[in-house]
Amino acid sequence: MPSSFGSALRVSVFGQSHSPAVGCVVEGLPAGLSLDLDELRAFVARRAPGNDPWSTPRREPDEPRIVSGLNVRGETCGAPLAAIIENTNTRSADYDNLTGVPRPGHADFTAWAKWHGAQDVPGGGHFSGRLTGPLCVAGGVALQWLRTRGVTVRAHVAELAGIPDEPLCALDNTPEAAERLSAQMAALADGRRVPVIDEAAGERMVEAVMAARAQKDTVGGIVECVACGLPAGAGSPMFDGIENVMARALFGVPAVKGVEFGRGFEVARLRGTENNDPYEVRDGACVPVTNNAGGILGGITTGAPVLVRCAVKPISSVMVEQDSVDLDRMEPARLKVHGRHDTTAVIRAVPVVEAVCALSLADALLAWPAQ
């Protein structure tokens, strides 16, 4: 079961939802990065479970422990960086009724079809969102390295349960838009409970999520992420383009079912004169005035913000009874899920999307730097 991605910066994740620990190994980190461990812990804590009423009651401290890759001064030393997060609050018996009856919408069935009952079932095993914890550890390190290159990454809940947030001001590339985008990113960095720009929209989102929870149901949404400060000319055409690298990694995040860049699928309804980003000379450089392309053309950065959105499906573990199949007897079965589950993955997915985007962009900058 390969669980790795990246080229110059290679990331592997390991563990299962109820194994003693989950973790990651990051190869290719530039040496000499002085890692701020407090900042890393705070970033990982944004994803930690059990802190909100819409989150799983499974409380885990999610304290990352780095076991290799740093020297005595706390700097990356060129060796692979390895980290673990211990699982301290597991309740495997909650999943006993899933060993032969798969949850609709979950990977229970496909894991059974591939491994014929040898797969680890409790908590979803290796398919669990628990594996996004070590992704945040690796991504938190990448975010600190990107900052030394002048690159910042920030995401928000663009939509949840059909309720939209104010969009990131990144489809325009004027100085005025850049100033507004900077203010939006600063607002999202203030530690607000729901990572949205419009806090009134965030309150309506919470109400909708809690209403779904009261009905024993779940909701999905959209996470929007922007990266600012990337130079023009980074990346590679065709199969190793920035979009390719980012999309491959983002589809590795559990519950992500769609990825789009810039205007995304909306471009199918535009004319070329509407979609093209005209150029102008600004401070002696050629820059796009608008950013419908999302900061990428031909797989290579334009110098405008890189803008990506991810569609996140509703959590499949709903508490109402559903139709399934008893795989041992191959006959119809009714399934009611037990245990502790989120009502939505969208809010906790925000730092995960930031982490994966940071890892992908760091990989691209190391593998195919701007010329």
User: What per-residue confidence (pLDDT) applies to 121?
Assistant: 63
Mean pLDDT of 213-238: 95
User: What per-residue confidence (pLDDT) applies to 124?
Assistant: 63
Q: Which domains does the chain have, with CATH numbers?
A: 4-367 (3.60.150.10)
pLDDT digits (tens, 9 = 90+) for 259-299: 999 999 999 999 999 999 999 999 999 999 999 999 999 99
- Please name the residues in contact with 169: beta carbons below 8 A apart, sequence gap of 6 or more: 177, 180, 181, 184
Q: Which two tokens stand for residue 60?
A: 């885990």
336 — pLDDT class (breaks 50, 70, 90)? confident
Q: Which two tokens stand for residue 342?
A: 């989120």
User: What per-residue confidence (pLDDT) applies to 93?
Assistant: 55
The structure's pTM equals 0.93
The residues that bridge with 301 in the sheet, in sequence order, are: 296
Report the length, in residues, of the chain.
371
Q: Which of 35, 218, 3 is nearest to 144 (CA)?
A: 35
Least confident residue range of 6-10, 111-115, 353-357: 111-115
87 — pLDDT class (breaks 50, 70, 90)? confident
CA distance 103 to 325: 9
CA distance 277 to 263: 11
User: What per-residue confidence (pLDDT) applies to 338?
Assistant: 74
Q: Which two tokens stand for residue 17?
A: 């939802």
69: alpha, beta or left? (left if phi > 0; alpha if psi -120 to 50): left
Say whether pLDDT at 242 is over 90.
yes
Strand 300-301 relative to strand 163-164, pairing: unpaired
40: number of CA atoms within 13 Å, CB side?
23
115 — pLDDT class (breaks 50, 70, 90)? confident
pLDDT digits (tens, 9 = 90+) for 186-207: 999 988 889 999 999 999 999 9
Mean pLDDT of 39-51: 86
User: What per-residue confidence (pLDDT) applies to 96?
Assistant: 55
User: What per-residue confidence (pLDDT) applies to 95?
Assistant: 56
